Each structure stands twice: as structure tokens, then as C-alpha cells.
């Protein structure tokens, strides 16, 4: 949970991992455990060589790296690659078999679901106990307790035993605690995969705020999250450190490895698809793919649309009601009063289909006169990655609109809704005043409209692109 360890020599390095290794004893037979407990000691007493009755399984082997103050580092790898073991060694909840870890500062960790919580204790009792483990006094925890409960959003259940909580409620409470203990280093291990879209967005906003002042070690299978959050990434493969570098380049190599046959673990090379070279240094002849093809500026739909819409892959999107009470910020000179999706006929909908025409309508009520208003929105996925966004600035830049006080302003964005992968998304509307480069934010509401994509034909990526045509031919 928390750790105060020996000081790292360099003032900029807060985590220093050197030659780190961890192995576990694997026994073929339960009787071998008893033999291992008794016989090696007897062998040593008799002056013989102690025999082992187990085989060594190395979860982590010869791993070395350092993390500087203020860095955000992602750790990726397949299941069983040693990611969680590494994080536990960094936090001090495991002891290394070889090598060492040096850290500087208070570490707050969310390693696994409900780790450190006593299921028989109430939520409040666990909060106070966790605070003590992080080195905070009872007075400090009493002062922070209301904020922890408010952040978690489970005030109605805080006096109930944790064993009655759902997995999402446990994560809410655990994350709320580590968000309020003034940590220098934050370690998060796949914890954000549990929980609803609204709370996950709140956690991502906290992480981005924490990244401005602290060090973050972030473990995830989601390369999009690693690329979005991290300055550097570490790839573990079967207990070995395979790559350490920029997230984009590392993600390309990691993705390639997921589709390669089980191999020796040699470094993966990424082919440069933009090169015309073939084996021997010669250039391949140009093909139709290389030629620029001008596409007529006409509307078109995916050639598979009819087939997809008639199947269980249709991109069905559930639209939840606008919630004006979500977290927001701004001057308050204008207030967003409504956000809704309309179908092609202009009717409000609570169910939409990706690939079809929709209108996003945002209504704003002014409190004072506003000169040159800008109304916009951002669509984000569950991890807070921006999928797409837009605003009214470019379409209204040549007008000098002045909106009097107590006036309703309605902005409408008409577009074809993209085909999204399954999952939860949110729409954050905003109203500002000024220009694109220089404006005052009057209100921005985080996650005011939640979308749940029930089904999708998208297998990879952030969204689906409509295909004008797909062809495959065989040449003999």
C-alpha cells in the first residue's frame, strides 16, 4: 500500500530498479514441500550439499530501469509477463530474490481489486485504516474523509461492510483513498478496467492532474491508454524487459508480437510500409496503390451497411439523459441547459445507430451579455481519450454575434455519427466567448451525456471508417 524507502542517490530519480529478479518455488508433489522444509537443513548439519526439491519459476529476471521525478511510465505485456510482480516489488509488498529497488517518497498503490481492505470492516473503517498505513494521522484522515466519500460516490453504503460491495464500489473507494493521501509516486495496476464511465473519467482527470506534480507508474493492456497518458513505456515479456522507450514505437512492436507465432523473444522489427525497397536494395515497381486517386466529393455509405444493419453487429448506441449536475468549471456567465441527440427528422432520441445521420443540439442560457460565443463538444471514450470534437467557431468567425442576458442560444451540429467499438463514451459540452486561440470558458460540463455502444462491427481501433469498396483478387 505505501512505502518509505532508502533515498535514491540521484535527486531526479525516484525509482531505481537494478538487476531485479523474483522466483517462486514450484513443487511437483505436496510431499516435496515437507522434504524441502526438513532435509536441506539436515544435509547442511551433516556437512553435505543441500538438495532442492522444487523447480524455480522466474516471474521476473534481471530487470533494470529508472524513473525520474514527474515521469509517467506505462508497463505493458501479456498476462503472466511479470507486470504485477514488478509493481509489487516497487511498492515493497514483495521481496526480491535478487537485485534491488530503491525509491524516494511516499508511494500510493492500487494494485488489485480491494487489496488492503478488510471485508468485515465498513467502508469508513477501511478508509481510516488505509490512511494510517499511508502514514497519515487520525486528525488528517478525519479532515479528508468527507472529500474521500464525495469522490467515491458511495456515501449511502460507506457504513456497510466492504464484503457487501460490488467490485465497482470497491475500486471507487480504493481509488478515492489513494487520491487523497498526498503521494509522491502513484502506482496503478489495471484498476480502471472496473467501474462505470463517469467514475473512470473522474479518475482519468485526477491522474492527469497528478501527473503535473507527481510520478505515475501505470500498468495496462490498453495501448491507447498508455500512449495517451505516458511519456515512456516498459514492455515485459515472460519476465524479461524486452523494450524500454517511447510509447508509440514500443506499441508498434508489442502489437506485432501479439500476432507473431510463439518465438524466442527476440526483438520485434517493424516494417516500414512507406518504403519502395525490396530485398537486395532494388525498388519495386509502382502499383495502383501508389497512385493518387481523386475521390469525387459525394456522400457515400459503407458498402456493407445493409448487411451489418441486418445483423447483430449493427452499431446500436444507447443515449442516456443529459445530466447538468456533472462536474463542471467556468465563469458562470452562461449555463448549458440541454444536450440531446436528434435523428434525421429532428426528433430527440435515446437510441442511435452508428453510421447514420444525427444532430447534436446544445442549448445555452446566458446570464450576462456574451460577445462572439463559441459552443462546442468533446466525445471521449471510457479512458478519456478524445475520439472527436468540434465547435461553432469556424462557421461563425465572420459574424460579430452579441447575445443579450437571459437569452437562449442553441447550437446544432449535424453529422454522420461514427461507428464506434463497443463500450461507454461521453459527450462533454462547453460554451466560451472570444476566439479559438483566445477565449474565456463560461461553462464546461464533464461527461454530461453518456453513450453506451451495445454492439459494433469494429474489431480494432477507436472508430470505424466507412468503406466505399473492398475488393480482393487472385492473379495467377
* Residue 452 pLDDT greater than 70, yes or no: yes
The Cα–Cα gap between 460 and 331 comes to 40
229: Cβ contacts below 8 Å, ≥ 6 apart: 72, 74, 207, 208, 211, 216, 218
178: Cβ contacts below 8 Å, ≥ 6 apart: 108, 109, 110, 186
- Output the pTM of the full model: 0.68
* Residue 83 pLDDT greater than 70, yes or no: yes
The Cα–Cα gap between 191 and 203 comes to 10
Where does the pLDDT of residue 255 fall: very low under 50, low under 70, confident under 90, or very high at 90 and above? confident
Strand pairing report for 328-329 and 439-445: antiparallel
Where does the pLDDT of residue 186 fall: very low under 50, low under 70, confident under 90, or very high at 90 and above? very high
User: Nearest Cα to 22, choosing from 236, 215, 268?
Assistant: 236
User: Nearest Cα to 116, choosing from 181, 171, 180, 184?
Assistant: 171
Strand pairing report for 72-76 and 232-237: parallel
User: Nearest Cα to 89, choosing from 77, 79, 101?
Assistant: 101
* Residue 98 pLDDT greater than 50, yes or no: yes
Higher-pLDDT residue of 449 and 307 is 449
Q: What is the pLDDT of residue 114?
A: 56
Beta bridge partners of 429: 377
In degrees, rounded to 5, the angle at the alpha carbon of residue 466 between the alpha carbons of residues 462 and 467 is 120
Strand pairing report for 13-26 and 55-68: antiparallel
* pLDDT tens by residue, 15-69: 999 999 999 989 888 888 888 888 888 877 777 788 888 888 999 999 999 999 9
Q: Around Cβ 341, how many Cβ atoms within 10 Å?
A: 21
* Residue 436 pLDDT greater than 60, yes or no: yes
User: Nearest Cα to 375, choosing from 360, 392, 363?
Assistant: 392
Percent of the chain with pLDDT over 70: 87
Copy the grid coordinates of residue 244: 524500454
Strand pairing report for 402-403 and 370-371: antiparallel
Whether residue 383 contacts residue 204, with contact meaning beta carbons closer than 8 Å, is answered with yes
Q: What is the pLDDT of residue 192?
A: 63
The Cα–Cα gap between 246 and 73 comes to 10
Q: What is the pLDDT of residue 11?
A: 73
Beta bridge partners of 108: 186
Q: What is the pLDDT of residue 220?
A: 83
Beta bridge partners of 232: 73
* Residue 324 pLDDT greater than 60, yes or no: yes
Where does the pLDDT of residue 216 fall: very low under 50, low under 70, confident under 90, or very high at 90 and above? very high
The domains of the chain, with CATH numbers, are: 13-106+183-258 (3.40.50.300), 316-453 (2.70.50.60)
Beta bridge partners of 432: 374, 441
Q: What is the pLDDT of residue 1?
A: 45
* Residue 9 pLDDT greater than 80, yes or no: no
The Cα–Cα gap between 435 and 465 comes to 31
* pLDDT tens by residue, 261-285: 544 444 444 444 444 443 444 444 4
Amino acid at each position: 500500500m505505501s512505502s518509505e524507502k532508502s533515498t535514491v542517490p540521484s535527486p531526479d530519480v525516484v525509482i531505481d530498479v537494478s538487476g531485479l529478479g523474483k522466483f517462486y518455488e514450484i513443487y511437483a508433489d505436496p510431499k516435496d514441500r515437507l522434504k524441502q522444509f526438513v532435509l536441506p537443513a539436515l544435509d547442511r548439519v551433516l556437512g553435505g550439499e543441500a538438495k532442492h526439491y522444487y523447480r524455480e519459476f522466474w516471474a521476473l529476471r534481471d530487470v533494470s530501469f529508472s524513473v525520474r521525478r514527474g515521469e509517467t511510465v506505462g508497463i505493458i505485456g501479456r498476462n503472466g509477463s511479470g507486470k504485477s510482480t514488478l509493481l509489487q516489488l516497487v511498492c515493497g509488498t514483495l521481496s526480491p530474490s535478487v537485485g534491488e529497488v530503491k525509491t524516494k517518497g511516499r508511494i500510493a498503490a492500487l494494485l488489485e481489486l480491494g487489496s488492503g481492505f478488510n471485508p468485515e470492516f465498513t467502508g469508513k473503517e477501511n478508509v481510516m485504516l488505509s490512511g494510517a498505513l499511508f502514514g497519515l494521522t487520525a486528525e488528517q484522515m478525519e479532515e479528508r474523509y468527507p472529500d474521500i466519500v464525495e469522490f467515491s460516490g458511495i456515501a449511502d453504503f460507506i457504513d456497510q461492510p466492504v464484503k457487501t460491495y460490488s467490485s465497482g464500489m470497491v475500486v471507487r473507494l480504493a481509488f478515492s483513498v489513494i487520491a487523497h493521501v498526498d503521494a509522491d509516486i502513484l502506482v496503478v495496476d489495471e484498476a480502471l478496467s472496473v467501474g462505470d464511465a463517469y467514475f473512470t473519467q473522474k479518475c482519468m482527470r485526477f491522474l492527469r492532474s497528478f501527473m503535473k506534480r507527481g510520478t505515475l507508474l501505470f500498468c495496462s493492456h490498453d495501448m491507447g491508454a498508455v500512449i495517451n497518458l505516458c511519456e515512456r513505456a516498459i514492455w515485459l515479456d515472460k519476465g524479461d524487459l524486452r523494450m524500454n522507450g517511447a510509447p508509440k514505437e514500443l506499441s508498434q512492436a508489442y502489437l506485432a508480437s501479439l500476432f507473431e507465432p510463439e518465438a524466442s523473444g527476440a526483438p520485434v522489427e517493424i516494417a516500414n510500409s512507406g518504403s519502395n525497397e525490396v530485398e537486395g536494395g532494388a525498388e519495386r515497381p509502382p502499383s495502383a496503390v501508389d497512385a493518387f486517386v481523386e475521390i469525387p466529393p459525394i456522400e457515400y455509405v459503407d458498402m456493407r451497411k445493409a448487411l451489418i444493419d441486418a445483423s447483430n453487429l449493427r452499431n446500436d448506441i444507447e443515449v442516456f439523459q443529459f445530466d447538468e449536475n456533472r462536474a463542471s468549471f467556468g465563469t458562470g456567465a452562461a449555463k448549458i441547459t440541454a444536450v440531446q441527440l436528434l435523428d434525421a427528422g429532428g426528433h430527440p432520441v435515446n437510441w442511435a445507430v452508428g453510421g447514420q445521420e444525427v444532430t447534436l443540439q446544445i442549448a445555452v442560457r446566458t446570464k450576462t451579455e456574451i460577445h462572439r460565443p463559441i459552443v462546442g463538444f468533446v466525445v471521449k471514450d471510457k479512458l478519456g481519450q478524445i475520439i472527436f470534437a468540434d465547435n461553432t467557431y469556424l462557421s461563425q468567425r465572420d459574424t460579430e454575434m452579441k447575445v443579450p442576458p437571459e437569452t437562449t442560444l442553441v447550437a446544432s451540429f449535424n453529422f454522420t455519427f461514427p461507428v464506434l467499438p463497443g463500450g461507454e463514451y461521453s459527450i462533454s459540452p462547453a460554451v466560451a466567448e472570444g476566439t479559438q486561440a483566445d477565449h474565456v470558458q463560461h461553462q464546461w460540463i464533464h461527461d454530461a451525456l453518456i453513450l453506451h455502444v451495445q454492439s459494433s462491427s469494429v474489431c480494432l481501433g477507436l472508430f470505424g471508417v466507412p468503406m466505399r469498396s473492398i475488393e480482393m483478387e487472385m492473379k495467377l
